[in-house]
Chain A
Amino acid sequence: MSRKKAAKGKPATSSPSAGSPTGKGSGKAARGSPGIVQMNGVVHPSRPSISNSSEFYDIAFKVMLVGDSGVGKTCLLVRFKDGAFLAGSFISTVGIDFRNKVLNIDGVKVKLQIWDTAGQERFRSVTHAYYRDAHALLLLYDVTNKTSFDNIQAWLTEIHEYAQQDVVLMLLGNKADATHERVVKREDGERLAKEFGVPFMETSARSGLNVELAFTAVAKELKHRSMKDPCEKFKLQEYVNKEMKSTGCCRT
């Protein structure tokens, strides 16, 4: 009783229960999975839910940003969420944090709950526990940092071990705007992605290159999967290739 009352009076900063719009995911059902949506996607597109920030959404998914320390996970997220890049204003992420953003994907409001994680190895035991509930993982490396690229394989092994089998995965080579400092060629990224059968693109949180696209592509894939619409075929990499902007032009 008190809960209901309380929920109403909650301040706007509070995030809504993303579990399921019908309330199915709350209470006991949520126990089995700390995730925001049941893994198999309880989808109720016909019943929009309302969040406290008065943002409607139809379906919600959990996305995680992973990759070495300093590759730009937080910057990418802030660029996507707020459209901003303030050079030198970011602090290293300790532990784990999340932000929400609702996207309109072909008329469906898709809420992404994006978890930002600390890149340093010793924090992984914290993040592992949350891998299994992620619907999508964006794995980042920094094109100006060879080590972060070399570590991708280890990251993939880890993801394979802890994440859901059908998790949507995308490899992102970030800081693509840094032409002069670049040490990882775009082709190297492509080759690696191909080898592991993972969609790939280069991004830049600084210029905004492909940032929106990366999240949109993931949201489209997740939406497509959850709707199970047979007439609509969606191929993540094809979509990405079609929409992607190459890095040559930028540094605006």
Chain B
Amino acid sequence: MEKKNKATDRTRSPVDGRAKDRVDSVDPYGFERSKDFDYESYEELMSEYLVVLTRRSIKWSKLLKGKRKVQKNVKLKRYVRKGIPNEHRALIWMAASGAQDQLEKNPGYYQSLLRAEHDPKLVETICTDLNRTFPDNVQFRKTSNPCLQKALYNVLLATGYHNPVVGYCQGMNFIAGYLLIITKDEEKSFWLMEALLARILPDYYSPVMLGLKTDQEVLGELVKVKIPGVWQTMMDHNVMWTLVVSRWFICLYIDVLPVETVLRIWDCLFYEGSKILFRVALTLIQHNQALIQQAQSLPDVCQSFKQITHGPFVDECHTFMQKIFAEPGSLSMATLTKLRATFRARIITEELGPTDPES
């Protein structure tokens, strides 16, 4: 952008140089920045966010005081919402989700899963996606050492074997990939996967995907109540919610929102559960309702739902996280539970027939 000549550049303070020369082309998690990455804005953003991170980091150090155990309480919840420093993420995610308890109760279990004889079909399905999981991340390259691709294979295989009904579902590759990037530990990643599949997002990835379908419809209902204009647009163009939000829910916002924002969301996901996914979706939709309502056709609607996951609103993760707890208004667990029951029953009737006793 800057077309100043060198001479003027030299007279300016070092801060005025090109951000691209100062910011690494690979992000802290190993992802290569895209060609059109806006280094200037990023640097500006980070200069502010680093202050927050530092402040939070000090607070967390005081809170943990080197402890390896944490108790869930109001204070910790508040801390989590304000962001877990990356160095403590694995610890807090493990503790808050119950994954740590499971790991301790089942020593050697993960390794035993890997040693078991595996269904060749499961192996094949997983292998199909190995090269297609984060090819833009240097840690997943075959040449990198350690190469996370092998670890990814192991975690997915163990998860599929441990959970034969689910097996492998596309999307799990990205989630396990993120877990490995953060925990740098296969066994911990496995138990966090287990926490997601068994407790946090039940039935999301099973073949019928009942949990996922339910939550998509629940989101639709929440939009109907909270953001009726958008709901009307969806109706006008006959857009099924699954078309625009399935990736949000399945990938837990990976590759939908910026990495840093996703991690902040996951902090709350592991601590508070899946409600956070609705808060994020509602905030995105509510904040951009005018744009969505401009859509003139189904493809327009799809496009607008893609568009709203980019830009400063989602890049500024700290502000974004404050907004998700304020903008969509109250969202009680009771409401959510009730809506889930209603839509779950409806989907079962529609898809599986009224006589099917399933779940």
Residues of A within 8 A of B (CB): 3, 6-7, 10-11, 13-19, 25-27, 30-36, 69-70, 88-96, 98, 100, 113, 118, 120-123, 125-126, 129-130, 147
B241-269 CB contact bits vs A (8 Å, 1 = yes)? 01100110011000100000000000000
Given contacts A92-B173, A120-B170, 8 further A-B contacts (CB under 8 A): A7-B296, A14-B304, A19-B296, A30-B238, A34-B237, A70-B132, A122-B205, A123-B170
Chain B residues near A16: list those with CB within 8 A: 296-297, 299-300
Interface size (B, Cβ < 8 Å)?
47
**Contacts A13-B307, A34-B238 given; does A94 touch B170 at CB 8 Å:** yes
Complex: how many Å from CA A49 to CA B134? Answer: 39
**Contacts A27-B236, A88-B135, A92-B170 given; does A125 touch B251 at CB 8 Å:** no
Q: Which listed residue, A14, A120, A121, A147, touches B300 by the CB 8 Å rule?
A: A14
B188-209 CB contact bits vs A (8 Å, 1 = yes)? 0000000000000000011111
Chain B residues near A35: list those with CB within 8 A: 298
- Indicate if B122 sits at the interface (CB-CB under 8 A): no
B207-A122 in contact (CB<8A): yes
A127: shortest Cβ distance to chain B, in Å? 10
B208-A6 in contact (CB<8A): no
Q: Which residues of B315-355 have CB atoms within 8 Å of chain A's CB atoms? A: 351
**Contacts A6-B290, A27-B236, A30-B236 given; does A91 touch B351 at CB 8 Å:** no
Q: Which listed residue, B132, B246, B303, B307, touches A90 by the CB 8 Å rule?
A: B132
B132-A19 in contact (CB<8A): no
Q: Which of B37-45, B63-71, B123-131, B152-160 contacts A (4 or more CB under 8 A)?
A: B123-131
- Indicate if B76 sits at the interface (CB-CB under 8 A): no
**Contacts A92-B170, A94-B171, A122-B208 given; does A17 touch B247 at CB 8 Å:** no
Residues of B within 8 A of A (CB): 124-125, 128-129, 131-136, 169-171, 173-174, 205-209, 213, 235-240, 242-243, 246-247, 250-251, 255, 290, 293-294, 296-300, 302-304, 307, 351
**Contacts A34-B239, A122-B207 given; does A95 touch B246 at CB 8 Å:** yes
The 3 nearest A-B residue pairs measured at CB? A17-B297, A6-B294, A34-B238
Name the residue on A nearest B130 (C-beta).
Answer: A92
A18-B173 in contact (CB<8A): no
11 contacts between A and B (CB under 8 A): A26-B297, A30-B298, A33-B238, A34-B239, A70-B128, A90-B135, A94-B174, A94-B251, A98-B302, A125-B351, A126-B246
**Contacts A15-B303, A92-B132, A95-B246 given; does A69 touch B351 at CB 8 Å:** no
